[in-house]
Amino acid sequence: MVDVGEKAVSQRVAVAEGCVRMAPATLTAIEAGNVKKGDVLAVSRIAGIMASKKTADIIPLCHPLPLDSVSVDLVADADLPGYRVTARATTTGKTGVEMEALTAVSAACLTLYDMAKAIDRGMEIGPIRLLEKSGGRSGEWRAAR
C-alpha cells in the first residue's frame, strides 16, 4: 500500500457513475415493480452502499477508510433505455474515496442486473467512471463531459 502517513487529513469527496442498458420492456417492468425478486432499485441502492464499505476487502492495496457518507441514486432513462447509477462517497481522512464511489456504482449495477436477469439476460453494464473528486493534495478534479 502507498504510505499516507505524512498526508494531511482533509474532507474528501468522490462521485462516480455507471449505467445499465436494457430492453424497454425490462425498464417498464422495473418501474412498475413487476420483478419477481422484489424492489430492484432499493436492493441495488443498498448493495452499492454495502459494497463501498467493503472496498478495501476486494480491491488489493486499497486503504480501509472510515466513510462519513455514501449515497447511491438510480435514475430511469428512457433514452438508454435503462438506469443511470450515481454514487457519492465522503470521508475525512488522508486518502481519497474514489475507489469507494466506483465500487458502489459497480455493485449497484451488478445487483440491478441480477435482480432483473430473469426478464432480460441481454442487459449491458457500463461505462463506469469517476466523475469528480475533491480534497487532498491534488485538490479538485472533474471528468470531461
What CATH number is attached to the domain comprising 34?
Answer: 3.30.70.640
Specify the pLDDT at position 35: 96
HEC string of 103-117 equals HHHHHHHHHHHHHHC
Residues assigned a catalytic role: 114
In a domain, 23, yes or no: yes
Query: Residue range 31-56: average pLDDT?
Result: 97
Question: What average pLDDT does the structure give for the chain?
Answer: 95
Residue 50 lies in a domain: yes
Pairing of strands 141-142, 129-134: antiparallel
Distances from the Cα of 65 to the Cαs of 38, 131, 132, in angstroms? 31, 20, 18
Q: Does residue 1 carry a pLDDT above 90?
A: no
pLDDT (tens digit per residue) in 53-109: 999 999 999 999 999 999 999 999 999 999 999 999 999 998 889 999 999 999 999
- Whether 4 is in a domain gets the answer no
Structural domain range at position 68 = 15-135
Domain annotation covers residue 118: yes
At 3-37, the pLDDT tens digits run 887 787 899 999 999 999 999 999 999 999 999 99
Q: Is residue 19 domain-resident?
A: yes
Higher-scoring residue by pLDDT: 138, 117: 117
Do the domain assignments include residue 45? Answer: yes
* Assigned domain for 10 exists: no
Q: Is 63 a member of any domain? A: yes
Question: Structurally, how many domains does the chain consist of?
Answer: 1
